[in-house]
Each structure stands twice: as structure tokens, then as C-alpha cells.
Amino acid sequence: QQPVQSPQAVILREGEDAVINCSSSKALYSVHWYRQKHGEAPVFLMILLKGGEQKGHEKISASFNEKKQQSSLYLTASQLSYSGTYFCGTAPETSGSRLTFGEGTQLTVNP
Amino acid sequence: SQTIHQWPATLVQPVGSPLSLECTVEGTSNPNLYWYRQAAGRGLQLLFYSVGIGQISSEVPQNLSASRPQDRQFILSSKKLLLSDSGFYLCAWSPVGGRGTEAFFGQGTRLTVV
């Protein structure tokens, strides 16, 4: 089942912060975050694993609440380059990296 | 280093024509391979995945099929395209046994069926 992302869209000024949420009705093994620029392939940002392990970029942080099957992506001091659509992809225990993606959150950072 | 190649980048095909999209991965062995489709303004829908040569699993029933004739080659096909097949098709790979590893995406093929 597809994870639900919120908000659907957010507009920021450069330097502001944003939080993007992702929730699933299924028990999760991992949550993956990607950013996609228009017409381009998604680019990996971060993976959060059951048990607390994280892999990803230093300037981007995220949390994974295993009990609630929710993840949040924190974008601080946003830059113009942060603009794009953010997708969370979820994988239950048995699927490896066979991800089910949410509908995306469109982030626009203005000067 | 590992790279993934996907071609063509764009394709315009008439309804009823066949389709063949190809994806190859370099620099790794026995990768997990995936085909995703993205409709305009929407998320990525997993179409097929493969854990080895000749092993294909389909996530959704559709007008498309996939094949893996070689370890690092993944092909998406259709015998007769429908208008609804239009979209952005992305091939991806992840390491074998890839639990908790990132998926690496190709640059995608934008297919327009007219």
C-alpha cells in the first residue's frame, strides 16, 4: 500500500525550514527519501532503517518512528537548490529495496 | 564505480505499435533490477522487479512485460501500446541482498503514445 506524504506542496523563502512527513499503514523495515528535479531521475537523500540506523547526507536529517510507521524529513536553512519534489519510498521487511513510493511533496524555495 | 544506462531518453510512438526500452548496469554483479513508471505530477509506480536472470515479478497487471536476458540487462516491452502507457519510465538497480540499500535510478525514458 502506498505511503501517504504531507504536505503535498510547500513554498519557502531561502533560509527557512521545512518538514515533510511520510506515513504507512504497513510495518516497515526501511524508509527511503529521494529528491527529483523536473524531468530528471530521483536522487537518493537518505535511508532510515528499523532499529535506528541511518544512511545519508550530512545536511539533511530525518526521523523514523517505528511504532507509528512514520518518517519525517527535515530541511533546515533551505537553499534554492533544495527545490524539487521529495518522495518517500517504503519497504516492508521482506522486499529489500523494492520500494513503494508516495505521491511526492513539491518544495519550492524562492529567493 | 557502478553506472546505469537507459535509452532512449525520449520516444514518441503511435497507439498499437510495439515498445522496447533497454537498461544496462555496469560495475556490479547480480543486481536487483526494477522498472518504475511515473505519470505526470505523480509518484513512482513499481512495474517489475528482478532478482536474477529470467526471474521477473510483476507488481501490477498491465499491457507491459519485462525480461532479463543477461545479468545486467533489463528490458521493458509491449506488443501494442495504449495511450495510457504514456509516462516517464525509470530503470533502477540495487545491490544483491539489498535490504536497506539505496536504489540507483537511470535517467529515464519519456514515452508519449499518440
| pLDDT tens digits, one per residue of A7-53 | 999 999 999 999 999 999 888 888 999 999 988 999 989 888 877 77
Q: Residue B95's pLDDT is what?
A: 85
CB burial of residue B106 (10 Å; 0-12, 13-18, 19+): buried
Sign of the CA dihedral A42, A48, A49, A53? positive
Partner A contacted by B40 (CB < 8 A):
no
Helix (H, G, I), strand (E, B) or coil at B65: strand
Q: Is pLDDT at B98 greater than 60 in this prediction? A: no
The span from the CA of B99 to the CA of A51, in Å, is 13
**Closest-CA distance of chain A to residue B79, Å:** 26
Cell (9 digits) for A95: 522486499
Percent of chain B with pLDDT over 70: 96
Partner B contacted by A84 (CB < 8 A):
no
Tell me the CATH class for A4-110: mainly beta
**Closest-CA distance of chain A to residue B69, Å:** 20
The C-alpha torsion from B52 through B55 and B60 to B61, rounded to 10°, is 150
List, in order of start, the domains of chain B with CATH numbers.
Answer: 3-113 (2.60.40.10)
- The full set of domain ranges for chain A reads 4-110
Per-residue pLDDT of B37-93, as tens digits, reads 999 888 899 999 998 999 999 888 788 999 999 999 999 999 999 999 999 999 999
The span from the CA of B73 to the CA of B26, in Å, is 9
Sequence-distant (≥ 6) Cβ neighbours of residue B54 within 8 angstroms: B68, B69
Name beta bridge partners: A12. A109
Determine the residue among B3, B38, B102 to mutate to test chain A binding: the one whose Cβ has the most chain A Cβ atoms within 10 Å. Answer: B102
pLDDT grade for B96, boundaries at 50, 70 and 90? confident
CB burial of residue A67 (10 Å; 0-12, 13-18, 19+): exposed
The sheet with strand A61-65 has its strands ordered as A4-6, A18-23, A70-75, A61-65
